[in-house]
Amino acid sequence: MGSPSHVSHDSSDPCLAVVAKISELYQLRDTFYPEKEADKKAKLDSGVKEVLLMIETLANETAVSSKRGHVAYLRGKALDVGPDFSKEAEEQLSKAVKLDPSLADAWACLGHSFWKKGDLSQAQNCFKAALKKGPHKEALQQLSMLERSLAKADPEAAQQLVEASLGHAREAVALDIRDGRSWYTLGNAFLTHYFATGAWDFGQLRQALKAYQNAERDAAAACNPDLHFNRATVHSYLGEYSDALRDFAAAAERDPSLNAEAEVQKIVKLAGRLADLVANKGRVKAKKLAGALAELGAAAGPSSHRVAPLGSLSPGVNKGVALLAKVLVQAASDSTYPLTYILVDKDGSCCVLAVYAVREGAVKADATVSLLDPVFSQQEVRWQDKVYSFPLIRVDHVQQVLVDGKPLKQADAVRSTLYTANKAS
């Protein structure tokens, strides 16, 4: 959760210097990620004190005293910059909207304060109150984020809330297509929508990646480590390991506390293991491999598809094609990645199989599998001075897998999950 950094003002406002200082304060919040969190807190606390002193100095000016609601808003805005709930910020922002109910920015900021307090219902009411004053991209961003948080707590209303979240994120982008925070919010909305709707439409993940790409064009948003972490996680989930490594490294550079460096090492280890297992035919004994090849030679593929060997597959979706193969070993099982196996076809060629939305245990070692309409790619995972190469087959749905000639049961299908750095945002 991150409160909007926008602070409204006009050129005749005597509080202009205060407004500028608050904007600097929020920029510091959004771009400064030291190794020690205490260093950031100290800088923010110092900035807040400076802003409050500036407001006190201006308090008795006639032009300012006539705008008591606006001044209360500025106080509350400054006090709300930290990650924790501030009772004083809530009081100042509540005062602001009572003195001047037309202050949409104050309503949005008050909503953020209530959210940090844990009062999600009040937060939602405040964001909606801000929107009643007119189009407001920060309120839309916050409402989109909040609706995804509400969806987690209310399974019955989750689908409706996730749909609303996606709609509000799109509205925010439409108000300002150059705003990176809106694009980032939209990327996260697509990501949540993908999993909430059954994790079958990979197009939504591509839309999430496109939104993250657009967000990165905004220099301020590009500093957000969560943007890079979340995009890296999507790339990892899709088996795009080189892209994932690049983004995890970028997240680690911007904010060491995200533990993105551990994700880098995890991917490097996985890529190395997959490349090794493919090159060494699953590291199974020669007798077992010979038996697998013999069984494949006698096996028949599905009549609905043209059976083709691994070497004949084209990059991308191979429509109308079935790959008949033997499962040698399960290579990895991790919540961040799909289930992965090492397969061998009748020609003795090996590849990695990544299976989505299928429960662990539905596909086992030694099984004969027919993969319908497989998605093929040749992976070249580059990191530092090393390159890990292996062919990869992706299967997106339980209906695309036959095990020992039989389709998997609906009970074998599971809803995939994904961890991101700040999924609510």
Using a pLDDT cut of 90, give the percent of the chain over it: 75
Higher local confidence (pLDDT), 305 or 418? 305
User: Do residues 144 and 169 lie in contact, with contact meaning Cβ atoms separated by under 8 Å?
Assistant: yes
- The model's confidence at residue 3, banded by pLDDT at 50, 70 and 90, is low
Domain ranges of the chain: 16-223, 282-412
If you average pLDDT over residues 372-377, what whole number do you get? 95
Rounded-to-integer distance, Cα 124 and Cα 128, Å? 6
Q: What is the pLDDT of residues 197-214, one digit of tens each?
A: 877 788 999 999 999 999
Of 313, 294, 421, nearest to 375 by C-alpha is 313
293 has pLDDT over 60: yes
So what's the pLDDT on residue 388?
Answer: 97
For the chain, the average pLDDT equals 91
362 has pLDDT over 70: yes
- The model's confidence at residue 371, banded by pLDDT at 50, 70 and 90, is very high
Residue 109 makes CB contacts below 8 A (sequence gap 6+) with 3, 4, 73, 76, 77, 80, 93
So what's the pLDDT on residue 424?
Answer: 41
HSE, CB side, 13 Å, CA atoms: give it for residue 349. 15
Rounded-to-integer distance, Cα 15 and Cα 372, Å? 65
Q: What is the pLDDT of residues 254-283, one digit of tens each?
A: 998 888 999 999 999 999 999 999 999 999
Q: Quick one: 16-223 is in which CATH superfamily?
A: Tetratricopeptide repeat domain (1.25.40.10)
Rounded-to-integer distance, Cα 425 and Cα 339, Å? 27
Q: What is the pLDDT of residues 208-261, one digit of tens each?
A: 999 999 999 999 999 999 999 999 999 998 889 999 999 999 999 999 888 899
User: Do residues 368 and 296 lie in contact, with contact meaning Cβ atoms separated by under 8 Å?
Assistant: yes
So what's the pLDDT on residue 375?
Answer: 93
Q: What are phi and psi of 324, to 5 degrees?
A: -100, 120
So what's the pLDDT on residue 418?
Answer: 54
Higher local confidence (pLDDT), 138 or 359? 138
| Fold type of domain 282-412 | OB fold (Dihydrolipoamide Acetyltransferase, E2P) (2.40.50)
103-107, 388-392, 405-409: lowest mean pLDDT where?
A: 405-409
Cα separations (Å) of 193 from 137, 155, 158, 263?
20, 14, 10, 24
So what's the pLDDT on residue 423?
Answer: 39
Rounded-to-integer distance, Cα 399 and Cα 284, Å? 29
Q: Is 425 exposed, middle or buried (0-12, 13-18, 19+ CB in 10 A)?
A: buried
Provide the 10 A C-beta neighbour count for residue 24: 13
* Residue 240, Ramachandran bin (φ over 0: left; ψ between -120 and 50: alpha; else beta): beta
User: Do residues 260 and 266 lie in contact, with contact meaning Cβ atoms separated by under 8 Å?
Assistant: no
**Diameter over CA atoms, the chain:** 93
HSE, CB side, 13 Å, CA atoms: give it for residue 192. 31
Residue 67 makes CB contacts below 8 A (sequence gap 6+) with 15, 100
* pTM for the full predicted model: 0.88
So what's the pLDDT on residue 54?
Answer: 92
Between strands 401-403 and 368-372, the pairing is antiparallel
